[in-house]
A = this chain, B = another copy of it.
Amino acid sequence: MDTLKPRAYHHGNLKQALLDASLELIRTSGPGGFTLREVARMAGVSHNAPYRHFHDKEELLAELAAEGFRRLTAAMVTAADSVTVKPDDPATSAMNRFRSSGRGYVEFAITHPQHFAVMFEASPKCLGYPQSHQEGERAFSTLVGYVEACQGHGALPPGDPLPFALLAWSMVHGVAKLAISGRLPLQAPEGVLDFADAATAALTKGIASALTER
């Protein structure tokens, strides 16, 4: 049995094991409770084995954040792709995909609050690490893409998609943050996801209203 073998001297996949253990630690102790030594302990290695894989504590957190943004993007895309497209109504389809990506954002946040915390609460130094910054940009571009699709089909007003994307991001980010901190009197996850749907629906109606107003 593999599991009874004394752990090989060379771990084989220590880097990912450390990242996984970090997430687990942050889940139980919060981002402030994260320490390199405890992570090493959880992974069953000596307290400075991590230095073989990360230059220092900050770099581990930055890689964790980058991984988080990658998964966030995937969650948004998956949610958007789950929408049943109506070939005869591309405008509604595009809008539903846009809204659903917001639901995916919130779903990722409330099912992986520890990852979300690293991405948005960890020390601002993380912004300086290219890998995490870049993955963050990629996540945002994905959102902008859904906005542009809506605009292309006349579901949202034409022009710069950036303000619309920022509004949508703020909306779902607020829902996610409040839900994670337990301040929404809703049952997670169903209640929160329904609420997220209501939020994106209300906001998109609001920003689309310029289309019908005059």
Contact = CB atoms under 8 A, between A and B. Distances in A.
Contacts of A183: 136
A171 interface: yes
A171 B171 contact: yes
Contacts of A31: 32
A185 B206 CA distance: 22
A14 interface: no
A167 interface: yes
Interface in A107-128: 120-121, 123-124, 127
Is the interface on chain A under 10, 10 to 19, 20 to 34, or 35 or more residues? Answer: 35 or more
Interface stretch (A39-47, A73-81, A194-202): A194-202
Given A163-B198, A205-B205, A174 B169 contact: yes
A30 B174 CA distance: 21
Given A170-B171, A199-B167, A120 B206 contact: no
Contacts of A184: 166, 170
A167 B120 contact: no
B170 A199 contact: yes
A170 B166 contact: no
A25 interface: no
